[in-house]
């Protein structure tokens, strides 16, 4: 389905050293992988290349080291986790360039898998330095990128190497690009978008791009308060970027011009304290008291969102509705997520979600696997929703 990208269908990897960029930036707890989703997503690509007789050389970053080796950011424990999930041995080389990498690769047989140490242990990675790119490129005959979630970085292992070696998208990258096309590239209309999260200031580009592309834009989370305030409502002690009231008003005006319907909350769940199980009440957004804060949308607003979903054929979701980490202020996010999965199950809705908090919220609701597609990307998903070109994706485009 994806156009203008080479995939593994077009690649002959037999006997080749294949540099496979994956995103192994997984959460760790006490030295163990706490959420293996990103690893699981790339297993099919690893297997396919190995089974076609390629030597799979995994390239990945981990954490944000300061351009030199540091034990806390070593990928060594991740190699063990990849091996366990893959059900095959995965070798490890203590450096991603130089002798350590070259000798480990030259000892590989066709079909074997090797993980190279954190690419960010070299300053050249994030700077995309030609000399470092060349060091990486000489380790491989072919490059495959399966790391959509790191594709917003123009780094050596995500962008530079793709320009030096013959390159294609891996299966996870392909699935991601397909899902994004389904959601915003060439979606079935009407399209609804949910944008939540705390701050309008971090989502200005997102809102600007979405209103040109979707039919209904549903605004939730703390950022909705700024819009309510801009419309002259009292938001009490709620999180609110008052200095952005003008911006919020011009967004509403621009949406009208773009014929995009904006759905703001009409009622809210409010409390006097920001903590789990704080005493709360439902109130219309016109009657929030001075000492109250809005921590979730209320039941009337939930109904309105559900109606919008029933009328949509495609949903793209970024950001939770309320303070979802503090029950009961997760209620709207949970209820609406369940509604989206029911419509998806019945074939009435294509549902695509992404962004760090969104995925945690959908996981907490136990529904992430019932969406049409849930991206594992945070920043990359956001930048893609903003309509920005992602360097790691652009480098794979066929000219």
Residues that bind ligand 3PG (CB under 6 A): 23, 25, 64, 149-150, 153, 378-379
- 14 contact choice in ligand 3PG, Mg ion, none (CB below 5 to 8 Å, kind-dependent): none
Active-site residue (options: 6, 47, 127, 199)? 199
313: which 2 tokens?
């054929």
Active-site residue (options: 67, 185, 208, 379)? 379
Close Cβ partners of 154 (under 8 Å, ≥ 6 residues apart)? 128, 391, 392
**Segment lying near Mg ion (by CB under 5 A), choices 136-144, 246-254, 346-354, 379-387:** 379-387
Q: What angle do CA 15, 18, 23 make, to 5 degrees?
A: 150
Nearer to ligand 3PG, 25 or 333 (CB): 25
Nearer to ligand 3PG, 14 or 64 (CB): 64
CA dist 16 → 6, 173, 218, 263, 323 (Å):
17, 21, 48, 53, 49
- 32 contact choice in ligand 3PG, Mg ion, none (CB below 5 to 8 Å, kind-dependent): none
Q: Does 360 bind Mg ion (CB under 5 A)?
A: no
- 153 contact choice in Mg ion, ligand 3PG, none (CB below 5 to 8 Å, kind-dependent): ligand 3PG
Please check whether residue 96 is in contact with residue 119, taking contact to mean a CB–CB distance below 8 angstroms: yes
Sheet holding 113-116, edge to edge: 91-93, 113-116, 55-59, 17-21, 142-145, 167-169
CB of 123 to Mg ion, least distance (A): 19
Return the residue nearest Mg ion (CB atom).
Answer: 379
38 catalytically annotated: yes
Return the residue nearest ligand 3PG (CB atom).
Answer: 25
**Segment lying near Mg ion (by CB under 5 A), choices 123-131, 160-168, 256-264, 371-379:** 371-379
Active-site residue (options: 16, 17, 21, 38)? 38
Where helices occur in 183-278 by DSSP H, the ranges are 204-213, 222-230, 245-257
Q: Does 379 bind Mg ion (CB under 5 A)?
A: yes
Nearer to Mg ion, 185 or 379 (CB): 379
Question: How far is it, in rounded angstroms, from Cα 57 to Cα 92?
Answer: 10
199 catalytically annotated: yes
> Quick check: helix, strand or coil at residue 299?
helix
CB of 227 to Mg ion, least distance (A): 26
CB of 382 to ligand 3PG, least distance (A): 10
- 149 contact choice in ligand 3PG, Mg ion, none (CB below 5 to 8 Å, kind-dependent): ligand 3PG
Residues shown for the chain: 399
**Segment lying near Mg ion (by CB under 5 A), choices 75-83, 246-254, 370-378, 382-390:** 370-378
**Segment lying near Mg ion (by CB under 5 A), choices 3-11, 258-266, 329-337, 378-386:** 378-386
Dihedral of CA atoms 41, 44, 47, 50 in degrees, nearest 10, equals -90
**What are the φ/ψ torsions at residue 283 (nearest 5 degrees)?**
-150, 145
Could you give the count of Cα atoms lying within 13 Å of 235 in the half-sphere of its Cβ? Answer: 23
Nearest to 215 by CA among 312, 139, 92, 80: 312
> Which residue is it, tokens 């480990």?
104
CB of 50 to Mg ion, least distance (A): 29
Nearer to Mg ion, 319 or 378 (CB): 378
Active-site residue (options: 67, 111, 208, 356)? 356
- 150 contact choice in ligand 3PG, Mg ion, none (CB below 5 to 8 Å, kind-dependent): ligand 3PG
262: which 2 tokens?
């904006």
Nearest to 341 by CA among 319, 366, 364, 359: 366
Nearer to ligand 3PG, 64 or 345 (CB): 64
CB of 150 to ligand 3PG, least distance (A): 5
- 220 contact choice in ligand 3PG, Mg ion, none (CB below 5 to 8 Å, kind-dependent): none
Strands 191-195 and 216-219, bridge-based pairing: parallel
Nearer to ligand 3PG, 223 or 390 (CB): 390
DSSP one-letter code for 242: G
The secondary structure of 156-201 as a DSSP string is IIIIIHHHHS-EEE-HHHHHHHHHHIIIIISPPSSEEEEE-SS-ST
CB of 147 to ligand 3PG, least distance (A): 7
The residue ranges that bind Mg ion (CB under 5 A) are 378-379
Residues marked as catalytic: 38, 199, 356, 379
């Amino acid at each position: 389905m994806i156009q203008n990208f080479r995939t593994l269908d077009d690649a002959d990897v037999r006997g080749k050293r294949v540099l496979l960029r994956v995103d192994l930036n997984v959460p760790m707890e006490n030295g163990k992988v706490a959420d293996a989703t990103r690893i699981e997503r790339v297993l099919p690509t690893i297997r396919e290349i190995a089974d076609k007789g390629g030597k799979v050389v995994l390239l990945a970053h981990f954490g944000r080291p300061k351009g030199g080796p540091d034990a806390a950011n070593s990928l060594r424990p991740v190699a063990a986790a990849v091996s366990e999930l893959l059900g095959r041995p995965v070798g490890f080389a203590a450096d991603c360039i130089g002798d350590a990498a070259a000798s480990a690769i030259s000892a590989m047989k066709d079909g074997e898998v090797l993980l190279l140490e954190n690419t960010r242990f070299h300053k050249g990675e994030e700077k995309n330095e030609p000399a470092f790119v060349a060091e990486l490129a000489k380790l491989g005959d072919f490059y495959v990128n399966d790391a959509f979630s790191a594709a917003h970085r123009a780094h050596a292992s995500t962008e530079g190497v793709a320009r030096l070696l013959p390159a294609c998208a891996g299966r996870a990258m392909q699935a991601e690009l397909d899902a994004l096309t389904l959601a915003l590239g060439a979606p079935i209309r009407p399209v609804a978008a949910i944008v939540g999260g705390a701050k309008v200031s971090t989502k200005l580009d997102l809102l600007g791009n979405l209103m040109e592309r979707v039919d209904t834009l549903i605004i939730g989370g703390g950022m909705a308060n700024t819009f309510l305030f801009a419309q002259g409502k009292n938001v009490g002690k709620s999180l609110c970027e008052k200095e952005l009231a003008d911006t919020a008003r011009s967004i509403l005006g621009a949406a009208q011009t773009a014929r995009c319907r904006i759905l703001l909350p009409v009622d809210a769940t409010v409390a006097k304290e920001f903590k789990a199980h704080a005493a709360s009440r439902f109130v219309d957004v016109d009657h929030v008291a001075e000492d109250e804060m809005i921590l979730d949308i209320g039941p009337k607003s939930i109904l309105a969102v559900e109606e919008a979903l029933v009328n949509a054929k495609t949903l793209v979701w970024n950001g939770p509705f309320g303070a979802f980490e503090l029950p009961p202020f997760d209620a709207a996010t949970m209820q609406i997520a369940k509604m989206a999965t029911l419509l998806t199950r019945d074939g009435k809705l294509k549902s695509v979600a992404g962004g760090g908090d969104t995925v945690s919220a959908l996981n907490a609701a136990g529904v992430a696997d019932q969406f049409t597609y849930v991206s594992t990307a945070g920043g990359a998903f956001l930048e893609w929703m903003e309509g920005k070109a992602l360097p790691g994706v652009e480098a794979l485009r066929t000219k």
